[in-house]
Amino acid sequence: MELLDDSIVPEEARTVKQEAREFAQEHIAPNAEEYFERGEYAEDILQEGMDAELVAQDIPEEYGGRGLSLSEVLAIAEEFYRADGGIALTLQLASFGAEIVVDHGSEEQKAEYIRPVAENEQRTGLAVSEPDTGSDLAGMSTTAEKDAAEQDSASPASTEATQDGDEWVLNGEKYWVGNGVEADWVTVYAKTGDDPDNRYGNYSLFIVPTDTDGYDAEHIPEKMAFRASKQAHITFDDCRIPEDHLIGVQGAGFYMLAEFFNHGRIVVSGHGLGLAAAAIEEASEFVHDREAFGRSVNEFQAVQHDLAEMRMEFESARALAWRAAKKVANGDQPGYWAALSKATATEAAVDCAERGMQLHGGRSVLTNRRIARVYRDVRVPVIYEGTNPVQRNLIYRQAPR
Ligand SMILES: Cc1cc2nc3c(=O)[nH]c(=O)nc-3n(C[C@H](O)[C@H](O)[C@H](O)COP(=O)(O)OP(=O)(O)OC[C@H]3O[C@@H](n4cnc5c(N)ncnc54)[C@H](O)[C@@H]3O)c2cc1C
C-alpha cells in the first residue's frame, strides 16, 4: 500500500523523501515498539539520523546545513511519523527554535550557535509554554530584565528592560520544552515590557545556553504518547545571559514566533499525515486477515465504508497540506494556510486512528499493537504548535475576505 506516494510532492523534495523512507524503515519502525514501552529518549536513533544527514538540515548551507526547504522537511515528517511519532519527534526537535536564530539572529550568533547545530555537535529546544499558560502567547510571565545593578539607582524598580546594563536576567518557568534537559541551548520567549496597550509587543526571544547558572531543567512525568521523546520543566532563577543573546529586535518576540509557527505548522501537518497513513495501513491489513461469519471482515460494507472514509480524510488533508506548504513558502497568507493545514491533517489522524481502533476489535487495546500506539500518539499534534481550537481562531480571523 503506497499512501505517501510522491506524485503530490514537488520534484525537489523527492530525493530526501526517499532517504527519509529508507531511514525510517531501517532505523525507526523496527525500534518503535521497544522505545514506546521503555519511554526513553531515542538517543541512538538520533545519532543515526545525524549520520544520515537527516537531522537539523533545514539550516542553510552557508552555516553548515543542507538548506532543506519547507517541502523537504514536510516530506521527511510524513515518512518519519508514519514509522513512529515519538522517535520522529526526537529527530525533528534536535534543532527546534534554531530556525528563529537563522532568520533573525546576528552573524555572530549564527557562527557561534547555528553552525554547531547544523554540524550535529549541539542540539536545541524552544521554550515558550509555561506551567500556567500555553495558548496565550501574550500571557506568559517569564521575565527578562536588564541587570538591575546597572540601572540608574534613582529610577523606580521596573519589570521593563532598559538599554542599560550588559546582561539579561531571566526569572520564571517554562513547561513542555522538548530537549529542555538534553539541549545545549534553548530559544526562550520572555517578557521584556509591560505595556497594556501593546500586549504582543512585550515579548522578546533569547539564546540561553543550558549550562548557564540559574538554568535548571528536569523531565516532566511519564507521558501516554510520544514516549520516545522527552520534554522538560525549566526554571530560571536569576539566570544571567549576555546582552547580545537577544535575538533580533527587543519586543518583536511574538511576531518572530508567529512567523516560525507558520512553517512549524506545515511540518506538523506531516506529523498528522504520517500517523494517519500508519492507521490506515494497520487497519486495512487487519480487516483483510480477520474472519467473521465465514467471511473476511473487509467484505462487510460497513467496514469498507470505514476504510473509504479514512481515505477520504487522508487524501483531502494531504492535498491541502502540500498546497499550504507552497503558500507558506511563498509568503502567501501563510498564517491562514498553516492553521488550516495543521488542524485538518492532525484531525484526519485522530479520526483514522479512532476508526482503525474500532476495526481492530478487542485487539485494539493491546498495548503492543501499532494501532494502539498510533491512537495514543494522535492526541499530541492536535495540541502542540497551537491547539486546534486556536487554529480555528486563526483560520476565521485570517481567512481571505
Ligand atoms: C508532547 C508535547 C510537546 C510539546 N513541546 C513543546 C515545546 O517544545 N516547547 C513549548 O514551548 N511547548 C511545547 N508543548 C506545549 C504545547 O505547545 C501546549 O501544550 C499548547 O500550546 C497548549 O497549551 P496548554 O497545554 O497550556 O493548554 P491551554 O492553553 O491551557 O489550553 C487548554 C484548553 O483551552 C483551549 N483554549 C485556550 N485558549 C483558547 C482560545 N483562545 N480559543 C479556544 N480555545 C482555547 C485549548 O484549545 C485547550 O483545549 C508541547 C506539548 C506537548 C503535549
- Cα(4) to centroid of ligand 1, in Å? 29
Could you tell me which residues are beta bridge partners of residue 167? 242
Q: Going by CA atoms, what residue is nearest to atom 42 of ligand 1? A: 390
Which of 79, 95, 91, 73 shows the shortest CA–CA distance to 35?
91
Domain count, the chain: 3
Ligand 1 atom nearest residue 380's Cα: 53
Within-domain flag for 342: yes
CATH of the domain at 17: 1.10.540.10
Q: Going by CA atoms, what residue is nearest to atom 38 of ligand 1? A: 135
Q: Which residues line ligand 1 (CB under 6 A)?
A: 96, 125-129, 133-135, 176-178, 226, 231, 380, 383-384, 386-387, 389-390, 393
Q: Domain containing 176: what range?
A: 124-250
State pLDDT tens for residues 26-84. 999 999 999 999 999 999 999 999 999 999 999 999 999 999 999 999 999 999 999 99
Ligand 1 atom nearest residue 388's Cα: 47
Under a CB-based contact definition with an 8 Å cutoff, are residues 357 and 378 in contact?
no
Same domain? For 227 and 321 the reply is no
Within-domain flag for 207: yes
Mutate to test the pocket of ligand 1, among 384, 385, 392, 395 (most ligand atoms within 8 A of CB): 384
- Cα(384) to centroid of ligand 1, in Å? 6
Q: How far apart are CA 282 and CA 307, in angstroms?
A: 11
CATH of the domain at 212: 2.40.110.10
Same domain? For 95 and 129 the reply is no
Question: What's the Cα-to-Cα distance from 160 to each of 138, 150, 318, 395, rounded to whole Å?
Answer: 15, 14, 45, 33
Mutate to test the pocket of ligand 1, among 81, 128, 129 (most ligand atoms within 8 A of CB): 129
Residue 117: CB partners within 8 Å, gap ≥ 6?
56, 59, 94, 95, 98, 123, 124
Within-domain flag for 183: yes
Question: What's the Cα-to-Cα distance from 318 to each of 271, 315, 321, 345, rounded to whole Å?
Answer: 11, 5, 5, 7
Q: How far apart are CA 127 and CA 96, in angstroms?
A: 10
- Cα(128) to centroid of ligand 1, in Å? 10
Within-domain flag for 118: no
- Cα(263) to centroid of ligand 1, in Å? 18
Residue located via cell numbers 494497520:
282
Mutate to test the pocket of ligand 1, among 99, 126, 135, 223 (most ligand atoms within 8 A of CB): 135
HEC profile of 131-145? CCCCCCCCCCCCEEE
Per-residue model confidence (pLDDT) at position 170? 98
- Cα(9) to centroid of ligand 1, in Å? 30
Same domain? For 393 and 263 the reply is yes
- Cα(149) to centroid of ligand 1, in Å? 36
Same domain? For 260 and 298 the reply is yes
Per-residue model confidence (pLDDT) at position 397? 97
Ligand 1 atom nearest residue 132's Cα: 26
Residue numbers of the chain with a pLDDT score lower than 50: 149-164
Same domain? For 280 and 394 the reply is yes
pTM of the model: 0.95
Same domain? For 216 and 291 the reply is no
**Which grid coordinates belong to 325?**
506548504
Under a CB-based contact definition with an 8 Å cutoff, are residues 29 and 84 in contact?
yes
CATH of the domain at 331: 1.20.140.10
Chain centroid offset of residue 275 CA: 14
Same domain? For 343 and 281 the reply is yes
Per-residue model confidence (pLDDT) at position 148? 56
Q: Going by CA atoms, what residue is nearest to atom 24 of ligand 1? A: 134
- Cα(135) to centroid of ligand 1, in Å? 5
Under a CB-based contact definition with an 8 Å cutoff, are residues 310 and 356 in contact?
yes
**Which grid coordinates belong to 232?**
522538560
Per-residue model confidence (pLDDT) at position 147? 86
- Cα(115) to centroid of ligand 1, in Å? 31
Per-residue model confidence (pLDDT) at position 57? 95
Per-residue model confidence (pLDDT) at position 159? 39
Per-residue model confidence (pLDDT) at position 165? 64
Ligand 1 atom nearest residue 130's Cα: 26
- Cα(129) to centroid of ligand 1, in Å? 7
Question: What's the Cα-to-Cα distance from 348 to each of 14, 20, 56, 294, 357, rounded to whole Å?
Answer: 24, 22, 27, 32, 14
